[in-house]
Amino acid sequence: MKAVILAGGLGTRLGEETHLKPKPMVEIGNHPMLWHIMKIYSNYGINDFVICLGYKGNIIKEFFSNYFLSKSDVTIDVKNNKIDIHNSSVEPWKITLVDTGVNTMTGGRIKKIKEYLDDETFCLTYGDGLSDVNISKLIDFHKNNNYSITVTSVQPPGRFGALTLDGNKVTNFMEKPNGDSFWINGGFFVCEPEIFNYIKDNNTILEREPLQNLANEGKLGAYKHTGFWHHVDTMIEKNKLNDLWNKGNAPWKTW
């Protein structure tokens, strides 16, 4: 099975970082978020990736073009223009990098990589979210329930503390309850090729008409994940994940 990663967004709220690089290349523990996401899938035997590029996509191309060399011991014979590889610790990845346009919406990006998916079931996620979701169980859930698309639903920590009131008296206080009782789209989808029938053009936003129409038809499933999930949209969130990684307590590191 292939995994598609949406890596073309601007990441405007990470301006000081994304001024020079695309959002998925923002580093957590000296590795791009994109690398972390691929390691998550690779841990479950998914090593064939299609990455949808957009804003500063050349940065991602350059990273993977040099990846093998950066992970290897080499002897460089400058005189004879020869490089000998001695030891390499690279992953067994096959990576297809597709320029899907700077201004293309999420649905449009997916539409543009249809030819690389061989009309088969595929995984799909965003380039800015990390999780310890069990990909194998997610895929099994999707297949067993015969959904056209399954989305991993999560309950992130709420933004504010919650009060239970009896008149003007507080009877219970909860510090940032998970999800404020709501389940949200956590990415980590499993999709059938039928998804392409719901995407009109470059301006189609996956999270609007396509997913809503699938939901109306009873074809959109939700795999409830109660473990770790975190996206990176601000420097505070990036720093939090860096802190977890540096302390050796990164829950998404399942490999």
Mind listing the pLDDT tens digit for each residue in 30-40? 999 999 999 99
**Does the pLDDT at position 181 exceed 70?**
no
Report how far apart, in Å, the C-alpha atoms of 191 and of each of 25, 141, 173, 212, 223 are: 25, 12, 40, 15, 13
Q: Binning pLDDT at 50, 70 and 90, where does residue 191 land?
A: very high
Residues spanned by the domain of 98: 2-153+183-246
Residue 98 domain-assigned? yes
Residue 91 domain-assigned? yes
Residue 166 domain-assigned? no
Q: What's the confidence (pLDDT) of residue 12?
A: 65
Residue 52 belongs to domain with CATH number: 3.90.550.10
**Does the pLDDT at position 226 exceed 80?**
yes
Neighbours of 131 (CB within 10 A): 23
Q: Binning pLDDT at 50, 70 and 90, where does residue 86 land?
A: confident
Structural domain count, the chain: 1
Mind listing the pLDDT tens digit for each residue in 149-176? 999 999 877 666 667 777 766 777 766 6
Q: What's the confidence (pLDDT) of residue 173?
A: 73
- As a whole number, mean pLDDT of residues 14-21 equals 73
**Does the pLDDT at position 195 exceed 80?**
yes
Report how far apart, in Å, the C-alpha atoms of 145 and of each of 55, 139, 150 are: 36, 10, 9
Q: What's the confidence (pLDDT) of residue 69?
A: 87
Residue 92 domain-assigned? yes
Q: What's the confidence (pLDDT) of residue 11?
A: 67
Residue 19 domain-assigned? yes
- For residue 126, the cross-strand partners are 6
Q: Which tokens sit at 14?
A: 């990470």
**Does the pLDDT at position 19 exceed 80?**
no
Residue 253 domain-assigned? no
Contacts of 108 (CB under 8 A, 6+ apart): 100, 101, 199, 201, 202, 203, 204
Residue 177 domain-assigned? no
Residue 193 domain-assigned? yes
- As a whole number, mean pLDDT of residues 92-110 equals 96
**Does the pLDDT at position 80 exceed 80?**
yes
Q: What's the confidence (pLDDT) of residue 87?
A: 82
Q: What's the confidence (pLDDT) of residue 182?
A: 79
**Does the pLDDT at position 113 exceed 80?**
yes
